[in-house]
Amino acid sequence: MGCSQVTCATKQIMPEKLLTAEEASGLLGIPEEEIKKMVDKGELPAYQIGGCFLRFRREQLEAIRSAITIRLPERTLPRLRQSAIDKLLDFFYFNDFYIISAILAFLILWIIIKT
C-alpha cells in the first residue's frame, strides 16, 4: 500500500507527456534539424506518433544530454557577442571603398587649396 488511491488513479489516467522535436531541441540546446538527423542515424531514441510526428521522453533526453557532443559548423552558431575589435574590423571590411574614397577626396582638396 505504497500509494494512495488518488495518486494511483492519477498515474493510470494521465499518460506520460512526450516532448516534441522543438522541445527536445530546447532541452538539448541543438537545432531541430540536428535532432532529426540524430534520430535517423539511431543516435537519439524517439517515438513516432501517427507515423510522422516525432516525440521524445524527457528522461531519455536528460540521460543522454551530457553524452551528446556535437560539433556544429561555425556558420550555424549564432554570434551573440562581438568584441569592439571585431566590430571595427567588420566596419573597415564593409566600408573600405568609402573610407579610401573620402581620404583621396580630402587629399585632392588639400592639394587644390594649398596651390
Question: How many domains are contained in the chain?
Answer: 2
β-strands 47-49, 53-55: how paired? antiparallel
Q: Which neighbouring-strand residues pair with 48?
A: 54
pLDDT tens profile 1-24: 444 443 444 445 556 788 988 998
- pLDDT-based confidence at 112, cuts 50/70/90? very high
d(CA 51, CA 18): 15
* Single-letter amino acid, residue 56: F
Query: What is the residue range of 28's domain?
Result: 1-77
Four-point Cα dihedral 76, 80, 84, 87, nearest 10: 50
Same domain, 112 and 84: yes
Look up the pTM and report it.
0.46
- CA dist 115 and 10 (Å) reads 94
49 with 10, same domain: the answer is yes
